[in-house]
Amino acid sequence: MSAPLLEVKDLHVYRGEAHVLQGVDLAVRPNRVTALLGRNGAGKTTTLLAVLGLLPGRGTVRFDGEDLLAERTPARVRRGIGYVPEDREVFTALTVEENLRLAARTPEAADRLDMVHELFPDLAARRKQRAGSLSGGQQQMVAIARALLNPNRLLLVDEPTKGLAPVVVRDVVAALEKVAEQTTVLLVEQNLRVAERLATDVVVLDHGTVVHRGDMAELFADTDRASALLGVSAATGPARGPSAGGRS
């Protein structure tokens, strides 16, 4: 088995006086999608923010064997860690083209623009349109496209289908499947059908601790275990084909 690209050990994070992460251990293997699942408030987004350095943590966060906790967020980003935030956070007053241009960190970004437009043809057609006038699904595509412009080795993707209509979820999931062919992904996703479709590995959090880690397909094949960890809706069966989505 290959060494993890990202390895987190005994990670503790406080938000104010709340001890949100209480010794989280997880590993993300290269060239795979790892889903980080759990009920609301389990610490999923906090984990992503701590990996990126947007929240201070205590413990160990290693990326490609190098400890990151002493580094600020820009240094971690330069190592090749991209982030797609939960609420998209596009610059609404700027055009699609301007949003993408601001995200470019390296000269390779210009070469990757054709790939982004191929993945999201709607963004090419709307490149002069202000991002604030886009639909929620189109804004999500801008958020993903910004991360893809740079040659990131790991993408932290937080709730990419949140609040989207089922038909839009289908398009976003199809794009993420193509993204996963090119880079390693740590995915937070409340839509369990989407998570099952995209991910090969799974880590489940509960109250800031890891309560399960393993193979995604094996977890969802064990309906009793999945239901106990994630709720009744986890046992509704696998997602099939491009119509996955619509459940939250």
pLDDT at 147 over 90: no
pLDDT single digits (tens) 47-96: 999 999 999 999 999 999 999 999 999 999 999 999 999 888 899 999 99
**Residues near 157 by beta carbon (within 8 Å), at least 6 away in sequence:** 84, 144, 147, 176, 185, 186, 187, 188, 189
Tokens of 164: 């989207």
167 contacts: CB under 8 Å, gap ≥ 6: none
Q: Is the pLDDT of residue 207 over 90?
A: yes
Give the domains, in start order, of the chain with CATH numbers.
6-80+152-239 (3.40.50.300), 94-151 (no CATH)
Q: What is the enclosing helix (H) or strand (E) of 66?
A: strand 66-67
Percentage of the chain modeled with pLDDT above 90: 64
Q: State how far the Cα of 25 lies from the Cα of 208, in Å rounded to an integer.
A: 10
Confidence category of residue 246, pLDDT binned at 50, 70, 90: very low
Q: Which two tokens stand for residue 232?
A: 């009744």
Task: Report the side by side order of strands in the sheet with 18-28.
Answer: 18-28, 6-15, 58-63, 66-67
